[in-house]
Structure 1
Amino acid sequence: MRKQILALTALVALGANAQEYNKWSIDVNGGVNKPTVGFTSGYATKTPNLWTLNGGVRYMFNNKFGLRLAGGYDKIEEGKNSPKFNSNIWNVNLQAVANVGRVLSFEDWTRDLGLLLHSGVGVGQLKGDNFSKADNLGFFTFGLTPQIRLSNRVSLLLDGSVYLYARQNRTFDGNAVTTKRGFQGTNFTGTIGLQVALGRNLVHADWYSQAASDSQLAERVAKAENTVAELAKRLENKEDKMVDTNSNRVPDEVENYINEKYGSLASNQAAPAPAAPATNYSGQSARELIEKGYINVYFDLGSATPQVSSLWAVDFVANYLKQNSGASLNVAGYADQEGSVKFNQKLSARRAEAIKKLLTNRGVSASQLSTEGKGVDKTSNVKSANVRQLARRVTFEVK
């Protein structure tokens, strides 16, 4: 275990975010509509009409662009001082979706607000009490959908859309069209609804921001450099005082420390065990590193599988516990502040259990270990992505 290992671990935790995102989602929405063009003279509609209902399934090719297949229903009734009518429009449509929030880098100033732009084409049927048969429609539609993230999987949608109807042979009130033109009818809709992300990953594409650019990453690494160097120096100083656990021999560079602690020793001779407690200097040093929080295992966002660059910490703890059979540790899991409290509590417990399993697989007695999921690391700064990455960890508490 050397300075380079610590530096690599910290830089991976700060600079790497290899998480994937969910590309599929479903949504259900309800609201009102207001047709403005497409009526016989003397006819008018309510302002607004109840109801407009629609739902769809969306697939994102990446975190900026996707397609949505949807269907909807609009109920249109007569307004004040209008002859009575009752009409309905059913439709299916295919729309292209642009995630304006990611295109414009909303993540630079908010984590929970988004904006979608959508447009597409569809077909529908207009029918009602005054219709002898249904009128088949074609239409073009476009609109904006502000989003509010309620959790990593659920979002609140507020949508405003415009429908421009072509091939319309009947007015919305059921009479024959007398004036032919490109778009015969116009309908405005406003809805509110919920979107649910589908998939195994933690976040949907709508909320996933791309990895930082080279210049941004360089800036982040530069800010972390001092911290990494200090941690590496502190760990190296502690490490230099440890006995080589493979040979139980004292390295040359710790001879002075051992001489001061236990009396004069010849260079590279085995260190005598202290009379009490019945442990060697290596165990005492390892315990000190663990107690002061230098030994941690780090995880990717939403994952209970440790980063490969952190597995040295598992081996370190396993060696300590096997050489000190009377020692016991509490394996404490933490999560960052992404996601709900309930999700993070379960995730932190899963991380602790995963590390306990790795330790027992390395020959550690289960009786030396307990686990605890401590949920969100409340010492981390939710506004700092770097600190949130370092919060996703398992640490060890000497009992």
Structure 2
Amino acid sequence: MKNNLLLLVTCLCLSVSANAQKKDKKNKVALDLIAAEPDKELAGETFNRWSIEADFGQSKGSKPYTDGYYGNNPGKFFGGIMINHVGVGARYMFSPKFGMKMNIGIDNLQEQNHSGSLPFQMQHHQLSAEGVVNLIRLFDFQKQAGRFGLLFHLGGQISRMTPQMGPQSKTEWNGGLVAGISPQFRIFKNVSVFADFIVNSNIRQHYNWDGVEFSDPKNNLAGSLYRASFGVSLALGKGKIHGDWAIIRDENAAKLDSLNNRVGEIEELMNDSDKDGVPDYLDQEQNSIAGVAVDTKGRMVDKNNNGVPDDLEKYVNNTVKENSTAATTAATENAVLQLINEGYIAAYFDTAKANPNAASASNIGFILNYLKNNPNRTVDITGFADEIGSTAYNNKLSSDRAESVKAILVRAGIAESRITITPRGEDDSVDKQSDWARRLVRKAIFTVK
């Protein structure tokens, strides 16, 4: 009688442990995490600082003009569209937000068709050096902007004006300011297209834009020129993406993120799933029973190696008496049958596998011992599969699983005539999206008759 109750308690323990996940080798992982070097990604390592540009478009001298001359039809800002500007340049960014650029441009200014102006032609060469501000980065708008960008540039310029028509043909050098704004759009990793809208101001000018020399040589003219152009920017460097869009990580922020990640991983390793006082990364038996003594590796103490933890064995010895009645024996028998027939004793399988996993050996052994001790009993084995895969595949898999468990019992000495199998196919009683829930239905259960 004492042995029967001991067997009952033992089977309860084993049925709980059958569903536990196998122990991961976390000791080494924890040491690796602690000893790992910090990230070596530093700010600016992959930041493309250089880019070259080329553009073309339309430029117009706004003022001054001699009476009878104008660059476009009065009352119309652009008049007709004419490509009369080409330019090339190079830009260097000191940081993701600020940089400088140099540009060389050639403008050929002349009257346009239907403008009503007297004919003229002025060749204008310009060299500029400007500071550049990446407004998207300055205002921290990168995420919302996506592939779009916006640059502002301002600086100084020197230019040369050479009339191509009329009696005046000498060359004049001027200087002044230039400012502009450039919307951008990245089309490839290191290539972007842009539009550039600038205002050019000469503070020393003696020619009108039509090529006629100003009548008062003692006074300087203030000349203005507007330009609208389109161009292409190519980033140079080892970075995988154009510098204006590259993700720049601050060195300290990167180290802090790495440290936070490691702390989180170590905290996870220090979890104690079964609340036995041994952290999971050291625990070799993460399903120990609450209140049962464990060793430093989380294993339930079993000094006599009989398969029953000492604390449970002591409890049974103290509570079960030798003079138990026949009624108690019958109750124990019924309790064992209830455990089996209600699915507490089951064999479990890994994904797409027909052979039971190693953790199921004790449960199958329990059924084997029961059938040997009760030769008048038969057993029905019912196989199941989870919902992953086709219905036809899962029907066959559930049958194969039941057959596999039957074969184990037959080889262990149970007559084949005492065993029947029933494939049930998919068990859809759990959440299909949960990996842990699906583990519980990849099984074979027993019904003793």
TM-score (ref. length: structure 2): 0.48
Superposed, which structure 2 residues align to 1:121-160 within 5 Å? Answer: 121-127=156-162, 128-130=164-166, 131-160=168-197
Superposed, which structure 2 residues align to 1:1-399 within 5 Å? Answer: 1-3=28-30, 5-6=32-33, 18=43, 20=45, 21-46=47-72, 47=78, 48-79=81-112, 80-127=115-162, 128-130=164-166, 131-178=168-215, 183-211=221-249, 229-230=267-268, 253=297
Give the SS at the match of 1:2.
Answer: helix
Write the distance in 2 (CA, Å) between the matches of 1:163 and 1:42: 23
Q: Is the 8 A contact 1:6 1:232 kept in 2?
A: no
Distance change in 2, residues 1:6/1:145 (3 Å): same
Q: CA deviation at 1:197?
A: 0.7
Gaps of 5+ in 1: 243-250, 265-283, 286-399
Identity %: 24
Q: CA deviation at 1:253?
A: 2.4
Q: Is the 8 A contact 1:70 1:94 kept in 2?
A: yes
Write the distance in 2 (CA, Å) between the matches of 1:183 and 1:202: 48
Q: CA deviation at 1:202?
A: 2.3
Give the SS at the match of 1:253.
Answer: coil
Q: CA deviation at 1:156?
A: 1.2
Give CA-to-partner distance per residue, 1:12-46, whole Å, 9 cap, x none: 67x96655201111000111112211211110113
Give the SS at the match of 1:101.
Answer: helix
Q: Is the 8 A contact 1:161 1:188 kept in 2?
A: yes
Write the distance in 2 (CA, Å) between the matches of 1:75 and 1:43: 15
Write the distance in 1 (CA, Å) between the matches of 2:59 and 2:175: 18
Write the distance in 1 (CA, Å) between the matches of 2:238 and 2:53: 18
Q: CA deviation at 1:84?
A: 0.8
Write the distance in 2 (CA, Å) between the matches of 1:162 and 1:228: 59
Distance change in 2, residues 1:187/1:199 (3 Å): same
Q: Is the 8 A contact 1:7 1:229 kept in 2?
A: no
Distance change in 2, residues 1:18/1:230 (3 Å): farther
Give the SS at the match of 1:150.
Answer: strand
Give the SS at the match of 1:207.
Answer: coil
Give the SS at the match of 2:297.
Answer: helix
Gaps of 5+ in 2: 1-27, 73-77, 273-278, 286-294, 309-356, 359-449
The one-letter code of the counterpart of 1:201 is: G
Q: Is the 8 A contact 1:29 1:192 kept in 2?
A: yes
Give CA-to-partner distance per residue, 1:243-267, whole Å, 9 cap, x none: xxxxxxxx9727679x9xxx99xxx
Write the distance in 2 (CA, Å) between the matches of 1:187 and 1:139: 11
Write the distance in 2 (CA, Å) between the matches of 1:161 and 1:36: 12
Q: Is the 8 A contact 1:50 1:76 kept in 2?
A: no
Write the distance in 1 (CA, Å) between the matches of 2:155 and 2:246: 24
Write the distance in 2 (CA, Å) between the matches of 1:8 and 1:106: 37
Distance change in 2, residues 1:233/1:41 (3 Å): farther
Distance change in 2, residues 1:201/1:190 (3 Å): same
Q: Is the 8 A contact 2:30 2:266 kept in 1?
A: no
Write the distance in 2 (CA, Å) between the matches of 1:197 and 1:229: 43
Q: Is the 8 A contact 2:42 2:250 kept in 1?
A: no
Write the distance in 1 (CA, Å) between the matches of 2:32 and 2:258: 19
Q: CA deviation at 1:116?
A: 1.0
Distance change in 2, residues 1:223/1:201 (3 Å): closer
Q: Is the 8 A contact 1:75 1:87 kept in 2?
A: yes
Distance change in 2, residues 1:214/1:182 (3 Å): farther
Distance change in 2, residues 1:27/1:239 (3 Å): farther
Give CA-to-partner distance per residue, 1:51-89, whole Å, 9 cap, x none: 111110111111111111110011111132111112211
Distance change in 2, residues 1:203/1:137 (3 Å): same
The one-letter code of the counterpart of 1:99 is: N
Q: CA deviation at 1:103?
A: 0.9
TM-score (ref. length: structure 1): 0.53
Write the distance in 1 (CA, Å) between the matches of 2:194 and 2:230: 6
Q: CA deviation at 1:164?
A: 0.5
Distance change in 2, residues 1:112/1:89 (3 Å): same
Give the SS at the match of 1:202.
Answer: coil
Aligned to 1:391: none
Q: Is the 8 A contact 1:3 1:233 kept in 2?
A: no
Distance change in 2, residues 1:19/1:139 (3 Å): closer
Q: Is the 8 A contact 2:43 2:248 kept in 1?
A: no
The one-letter code of the counterpart of 1:188 is: Y
Q: CA deviation at 1:237?
A: 5.0
Write the distance in 1 (CA, Å) between the matches of 2:120 and 2:282: 85
Q: Give the number of aligned pairs.
A: 254
CA RMSD of aligned residues (A): 4.2
Distance change in 2, residues 1:58/1:19 (3 Å): closer
Q: Is the 8 A contact 1:34 1:49 kept in 2?
A: no
Distance change in 2, residues 1:8/1:65 (3 Å): farther
The structure having more radius of gyration, on CA atoms, is 2
Distance change in 2, residues 1:255/1:87 (3 Å): same
Q: Is the 8 A contact 1:30 1:53 kept in 2?
A: yes
Q: Is the 8 A contact 2:49 2:92 kept in 1?
A: yes
Write the distance in 1 (CA, Å) between the matches of 2:152 and 2:282: 56
Q: CA deviation at 1:205?
A: 3.3
Give CA-to-partner distance per residue, 1:185-219, whole Å, 9 cap, x none: 11110111111111112234322354369899979
